[in-house]
Amino acid sequence: MESNISRFLEFNVAHYGEYEQFIYLGPEGEKRLKNTDLLDQARRLSTGLRKMGVQKGDIIGTVVSNLPETPVLINGINRCGAVYLPIIFMLTAKEIRYILEDSRCKFVLVEDKLLPKVREAADGVKTVETIIVIGQERGEGLLPYDDLMTKGDELGDVVPVEADDLSILMYTSGTTGFPKGVMLSHRNMEKQMMTGSQVWGGKKGEIMLTTVPMNHIFGVISTLELYHLGCVSLLMPPFDPRKVLDAIRDYRVSFIPVVPTMLIFLMMVFDPAKDDTSSLDLLICSGGPLALDTLENAQKTFKIEITQGYGCTEVGGSMTRQRRDWPRKPGSVGFPMPGLALRVVNADGKDVPRGEEGEVICKGPIVMKGYLNKPEETSAALVNGWLHTGDIGKLDEDGELYITGRLKDLIIKGGENIDPGVAEGWLYKHPAIWECAVVAVKDPKYGEDVAAAVTLKPGQQATEEELLTYLGEHLHHFVAPKKIFFLDAMPKTGLGKILKREIRRIINEK
């Protein structure tokens, strides 16, 4: 029992006493649950799953949006010794099917509005034994979620596990390739939660507003940290910037994690006459590169220093975080998490001097076990225990990390490496640009050349000639984009990361 991360909900009740730990702001209004309610429901779910035949180590997939049941699913599945597999609900049936087959998932929990897609995905998948439906939908071969929740007994006790046993299986978003199942152990998640709590902290009763999808590692680790700290979780369905700002004001929110795209949307609708963000103690931005202009504008708009972090699914959340007791440096993503060794290396695996760029690698108890069913990919990513992130960065004289690009995003033009982040930085400074991505396009002379995809701010206009002239004034002609593609919207992952792989496909087909 000592290693099962589900015990932290029990710790929350025992250490902080009974209090309203969870508030859900759904389309039908507010729903509040005490920590004791969450514990009772998790115990009921664990009991029901075990009576249904779930065994320790079984993989249970969930295909749900942000629901009031979400924290119960996370805790209840781990509680019975099973493995929690959150599947991005916006994926297609074909993509979900791949995950079900690759993971050999036995049981799938799905909300009723997503049932048709999941049924299509699971059709003919031999390992899937039962589909459990949250909601009113009934039918042949379906088990109502409510039927699992009738009673909690000794079968709902926390099942003992080993620290290295699998706790969470989470598939990467596939921004640079086919999704891989990241295997995270109970030790990985506990160490991530403990160090995260240590760095950013929090007090009993303080409210964190979560709008990121809870099928992302960002949401899962937030849940664990809030249990440990005694904070309150305020959960909203899909991101709506107007509703987010209303909630910050009405609930006096202390913390909110966002990704850069969300930050941009919040600034677009912010109204100083009615919006009040003075309660915010931490406005956390992570999950993707944050342009310096966006950072500066957001800090002026919300009148708070933005705190940045950097991480990935492969470490169970954060790899670095800016500290509260240290000045926030523009462009920095902070110091390595306590207990994590972090290096910046060249192509030969040798450390580069401070201030020089190289690949970011790390080693420590938060690093994943590997990729499920993919030994070659695991060997490539984990070299002598060091996780090779594929991200390019540099360390400053204080040991803070700056992420400057991705190895796979590098454009190789005539044998020369070109970092797309430089041109992107200048594009974000242009008053008409909302979002941009600089990528490689095929070129008969150089093999690859530089192009940019952009979206414009509402009410703004710009031509290709204007933007190319602007970039030519700031960049050497060799590294400056030669073509500009105007898109109505950037293709993105469920968390809002721009999919450069998809952009390359779109513009190379034009």
* Locus of tokens 């998948």: 125
Bridging pattern class, strands 433-443 and 447-456: antiparallel
User: Residue 198 pLDDT more than 70?
Assistant: yes
Q: Are residues 28 and 137 in the same domain?
A: yes
Strand spans (E) along 39-140: 59-63, 83-86, 107-111, 130-134
Residues 43 and 187 in one domain: yes
What is the signed CA dihedral for 437, 294, 256, 71, rounded to 10 degrees? 0
In this predicted structure, the answer to whether residue 22 has a pLDDT above a threshold of 50 is: yes
Q: pLDDT tens for residues 3-19?
A: 999 999 999 999 999 99
Q: What token pair was written down for 390?
A: 């594929």
Cα Rg of the chain (Å, integer): 23
Query: Do residues 70 and 177 share a domain?
Result: yes
Q: Mean pLDDT over all residues of the chain?
A: 92
Last-in-domain residue among 374, 390, 409: 409
pLDDT tens readout for residues 470-509: 999 998 888 899 999 999 999 987 667 788 888 988 887 7
Domain count, the chain: 3
Pair (362, 420) in one structural domain: no
405 with 432, same domain?
no
Which stretches within 83-239 are classed as H helix?
A: 93-103, 115-122, 145-148, 186-200, 217-229
What are φ and ψ of residue 203, in 5° steps? -125, 160
Task: Report the C-alpha gap between 210 and 218 in whole angstroms.
Answer: 9
Assigned domain for 273 exists: no
Give which of 374, 379, 19 is closest to 203, Cα–Cα.
Answer: 19
**Structural domain of 24:** 7-194
What is the band of 173 on the pLDDT scale with cuts at 50, 70, 90?
low
Distance in angstroms (rounded) separating the CA atoms of residues 273 and 270: 9
| Cα 369 to Cα 162: distance, rounded to the nearest angstrom | 14
Residue 174 has pLDDT above 60, yes or no: no
Angle in degrees, CA 43, 45, 49, rounded to 5: 120
First-to-last C-alpha distance (Å) of the chain: 57
pLDDT value at 176 more than 50:
no
Closest to 43 (Cα-Cα) out of 150, 157, 133, 167: 157
327 in the same domain as 426: no
Q: Specify the CATH number for the domain of residue 39.
A: 3.40.50.12780
Q: What is the pLDDT of residue 218?
A: 82
In a domain, 22, yes or no: yes
Q: Is residue 109 part of a domain?
A: yes
**Are residues 58 and 173 both part of a single domain?**
yes
Q: Is residue 426 part of a domain?
A: yes
What is the tens place of the pLDDT at every residue in 412-442? 787 677 878 889 989 999 999 999 999 988 8
- 42-68: per-residue pLDDT in tens? 999 999 999 999 999 999 999 999 999
At 175 the pLDDT is 42
Least confident piece of the model among 135-139, 228-232, 244-248: 135-139
- The pLDDT tens digits of the residues spanning 302-322 come to 999 999 999 989 999 999 999
Q: Does residue 52 lie in a domain region?
A: yes
pLDDT at residue 141, as a whole number = 78
Provide the pLDDT for residue 225. Answer: 93
Residue 415 has a CB neighbour count (10 Å cut-off) of 7
Domain boundary among 409, 442, 461: 409
The answer as to whether 248 is a domain residue is no
At residue 332, the pLDDT reads 96
Last residue of a domain, one of 388, 409, 430: 409
Predicted local distance difference test score (pLDDT) of residue 178: 65
Q: Say yes or no: 371 and 463 in one domain.
A: no
Q: What's the pLDDT score for residue 418?
A: 81
Residue 361 shares a structural domain with residue 421:
no
What percent of the chain has pLDDT above 90?
75
Given this model, what pLDDT does residue 276 score? 97
Q: How many CB atoms lie within 10 A of CB 239?
A: 19
Strand-pair partners of 207: 232
Pair 376, 426 in one domain = no
Cβ-based neighbour number of residue 443 at 10 Å: 14
User: 155 and 51 in contact (C-beta within 8 Å)?
Assistant: yes
Any idea what the CATH number is for the domain that residue 493 is in? 3.30.300.30
Is 76 inside any structural domain? Answer: yes
Task: Examine the domain organization and report whether 365 and 455 are in the same domain.
Answer: no
Residues 477 and 450 in one domain: yes
Give exposure, 199-220, as e/b (b: 16+ Cβ within 10 Å).
Answer: bbebeeebbbbbbbbbbbbbbb
- Give the pLDDT confidence score for residue 264 in this predicted structure: 85
438 in any annotated domain: yes
Per-residue model confidence (pLDDT) at position 437: 93
380-399 average pLDDT score: 95
